[in-house]
Structure 1
């Protein structure tokens, strides 16, 4: 065995160990889906305040109920109760891990300790936000005693930011009998609550203060915000639903066509046509382990750590730009290694890295997106039940959701909707999938490349849905034999996700 092979085997084992540890560590992190559902719940609460000009029109009320549900307050209480329990459980788990590290003999602050300390702060902040809102929901359902208990329990967490504790005290006083008002009540509500929760708390405050003009202005603002929220919900709910319905019809058509036409069907097109692969497994491992793993997980992060890039500033533009630069560096490094690894095989055999503009790649991309939506949604629902809110998520999603800066959002969009589809499709579908057909069938290559595509995101909770998405991407590419089709599908998928996040996060 050559030194090169021994080195590749060693690096592969290192990559597997590192990736495995990263995946296992993601188990302790909450899924992004939980936060996303709370954002959507907040918009629903905002939208329920909408009052049509003609209140006697039953059709409008029916449409409103179909979008918001029959009892949005009750549903919101259940979600916030579950969120509070989940955040509290996560907080206790992280604190235990941190205590273990702090009990060790070493006094050095390790990166892991810093990460856990930051996670504790984030979870405490989230717990405060969730419990403040949960109490308001309980109060609106006339469960005043429960609401006051929720706020009082929050005040017992002395380690939480004092502003949240003071806000809990303000809310508890406002809904107590007799009520008690604090001097900074309005300021604290404005600072620490938002959207429907802020409006509800201010309405209670203004009523107690008998400020009729302020109440009138608040009602007008609530109606405007409710109209915008209802429109956002209609967009978020209607477009994906129609697309998924179209995708289901397309799936049924493809399956029926496969049964009736056999090898002449679209699903069977190029299904057994393998690529002529001039390189062996060493090149595949070299590209993925050295190019993708070492570049993405070790070299580029170390390079960025020594560059004079401001960190921890909370500046959304800097964070977005850092993400874009790091991604482009990883892509450049990986593709460079790919080029130098296979250049001795130039010119490549037919069908490698094909980009045909004048073909039906747009139809393949659009059709693939429609069919991917119902498949991934179903898999995601099953996946969510399996992981029970754990397993971590892509941090880019959280940053995109919470960003209020249009420039930062534009940079996030450039990263996720353009850079990621181009690079990942070129690597996973353009190189890996065809290379694997040297050792397995096309279907086997689709599955293995999809699994590696999912694992590369280093999030346990995303393995199943991303594998499902990867398989649709693989099927689209192998049938169309055009990378533009899978790139379009990938771009549409990421774009749809980002647009939904923007609409949810912009609810103000």
Structure 2
């Protein structure tokens, strides 16, 4: 990579007022403390990976009778019921430690499965019927599976099994095909670059800001204002408004996530607007270089890069799991999506994850941080720094490496194509795939 050819901004840090330097220093110190605390706190949060694995096994048990016999071992595994019973025992232990309300459903389902595995169908009826009789557990995936285990020949259960089979294909076969396509595209890209056939990247344009401005934007705006002050000041007010409106769970959680994320965005974006206003006339395409048009080419570049990044992120996640099997906590939004069966709430979660988060995060990390760092340190360092800050900002040690690889892919797309709009689309596609997978497993 080669650095952008833009001149440095006028009035760099040496000419900045002392109060501005002090504010940046305090913001940076607070941000480091908050992020370090958040990363360490992720060690005590449950990982959504265990829940995803269990949900996929539940789906496999439900779908197995409806799968063609030759495909059953490939799609559902050789012994899905036995494997699910082991996963349930592990999740029960984790749920009891964390005080999760999911423990009763898991315990009843595990007891029923164990009795069925032992050949005691009559003994399995007690826990399975208790699971169905509990109003707090009714309608959930464990209750639907319990009904299927009790009455496997029921027409309703068979119809549910057919739907489960389609969902199982969606979360197993489709990702595998996409992964193979991504590997092929990645090998082709590497071959073209090795043969020197790849086009030269355009000049990397970005806002004429200095490092001090970026520290104030990210440390001061994104972390201190957005992640610290916004929850403290806005969350109680927003909770009062929700109480007054009469909105109840689960929609309450969806509206709360959407509203608080909008509030989190407001402070950093206001700071950025004020910073850009003092730069004078913007270049063609604007300071951030969204350049949405032509939309078709931006979408094609985003989709192509998504396919190439997917195998690398999957590999990094697999390696991390081999080295650190326990992992750490995931983004709480993932659990909310997985366990929600309310369409309006899912719409709020989806809009936040697929629209707001890509627009906001790409504006900060690839729209500002990357080109400013690239101008001062070189494009390679700019891509790496933006990816590292992007990964740390998600506050999960267990997802740090995969997020770093995803950030490198987003940075490479920004550097190679020059368009921030493509990065937003790639980020939205990635979050959309994750969201869809969670809905298929959790619904």
CA distance in 2, matches of 1:181, 1:251: 50
SS at match of 1:445: helix
Asked if the contact 1:29–1:390 (Cα under 8 Å) also holds between the matched residues in 2, the reply is: no
Q: Deviations over 1:413-442 (max 9, x none)?
A: 111111111111111111111111133221
Asked if the contact 1:31–1:390 (Cα under 8 Å) also holds between the matched residues in 2, the reply is: yes
Q: Which of 246, 269, 286 pairs up with 2:216? A: 286
Which protein has greater RCO, CA pairs closer than 8 Å, 6+ apart?
Answer: 2
| CA pair 189-63 structure 1, distance change in 2 beyond 3 A | farther
User: Is residue 2:166 matched to residue 1:231?
Assistant: yes
Q: Which of 194, 207, 224 pairs up with 2:143? A: 194
Q: CA deviation at 1:394?
A: 0.9
> What is the aligned-residue RMSD (CA, Å)?
2.7
Asked if the contact 1:450–1:474 (Cα under 8 Å) also holds between the matched residues in 2, the reply is: yes
| CA pair 473-185 structure 1, distance change in 2 beyond 3 A | closer
Question: Which residue matches 2:7?
Answer: none
CA distance in 2, matches of 1:314, 1:400: 16
What 5-or-longer segments of structure 1 have no aligned partner? Answer: 52-59, 92-118, 145-170, 204-214
Asked if the contact 1:401–1:502 (Cα under 8 Å) also holds between the matched residues in 2, the reply is: yes
Question: Which residue matches 2:198?
Answer: 265
Which range is displaced more, 275-284 or 238-247? 275-284
Question: Which residue matches 1:209?
Answer: none
User: Is residue 2:291 matched to residue 1:358?
Assistant: no
Name which one, 1 or 2, has greater alpha-carbon Rg.
1
Q: CA deviation at 1:183?
A: 11
Q: Which of 96, 118, 123 pairs up with 1:175? A: 123
CA distance in 2, matches of 1:328, 1:21: 24
| CA pair 7-70 structure 1, distance change in 2 beyond 3 A | same
Asked if the contact 2:410–2:423 (Cα under 8 Å) also holds between the matched residues in 1, the reply is: yes
Q: Deviations over 1:329-379 (max 9, x none)?
A: 222221110111232112245673111412621221010111121111111
CA distance in 1, matches of 2:137, 2:254: 25
SS at match of 2:395: coil
Give the count of matched residue pairs. 417
Question: Which residue matches 1:167?
Answer: none
| CA pair 70-303 structure 1, distance change in 2 beyond 3 A | same
Q: CA deviation at 1:276?
A: 6.7
| CA pair 390-479 structure 1, distance change in 2 beyond 3 A | same
| CA pair 143-269 structure 1, distance change in 2 beyond 3 A | farther
What 5-or-longer segments of structure 2 have no aligned partner? Answer: 1-16
Residues 247-396 of structure 1: pairs in structure 2 closer than 5 A:
247-261=182-196, 264-266=197-199, 269-270=201-202, 273-275=203-205, 278-301=208-231, 302-307=233-238, 308-310=240-242, 315-349=249-283, 352-354=287-289, 355-358=291-294, 360-396=297-333
User: Is residue 2:418 matched to residue 1:485?
Assistant: no
SS at match of 1:438: helix
CA distance in 1, matches of 2:313, 2:347: 26
CA distance in 1, matches of 2:392, 2:132: 48
CA distance in 2, matches of 1:371, 1:288: 29
Question: Which residue matches 1:102?
Answer: none
CA distance in 1, matches of 2:428, 2:131: 46
CA distance in 2, matches of 1:188, 1:278: 61
Asked if the contact 1:30–1:389 (Cα under 8 Å) also holds between the matched residues in 2, the reply is: no
| CA pair 325-378 structure 1, distance change in 2 beyond 3 A | same
Q: Deviations over 1:169-216 (max 9, x none)?
A: xx9xx518xx9899979634994651222332x44xxxxxxxxxxx8x
Q: Which of 321, 336, 357 pairs up with 1:420? A: 357
SS at match of 2:195: helix
- Per the normalisation by structure 1, the TM-score is 0.76
Question: Which residue matches 2:89?
Answer: 81
| CA pair 185-403 structure 1, distance change in 2 beyond 3 A | closer
Q: Deviations over 1:131-170 (max 9, x none)?
A: 32222222222176xxxxxxxxxxxxxxxxxxxxxxxxxx
Asked if the contact 2:63–2:164 (Cα under 8 Å) also holds between the matched residues in 1, the reply is: yes
Question: Which residue matches 2:48?
Answer: 32
Question: Which residue matches 2:432?
Answer: 495
Residues 95-134 of structure 1: pairs in structure 2 closer than 5 A:
119-120=98-99, 122=100, 125-134=101-110
Asked if the contact 1:421–1:490 (Cα under 8 Å) also holds between the matched residues in 2, the reply is: yes
Residues 463-478 of structure 1: pairs in structure 2 closer than 5 A:
463-478=400-415
Asked if the contact 1:274–1:441 (Cα under 8 Å) also holds between the matched residues in 2, the reply is: no
CA distance in 1, matches of 2:129, 2:382: 66
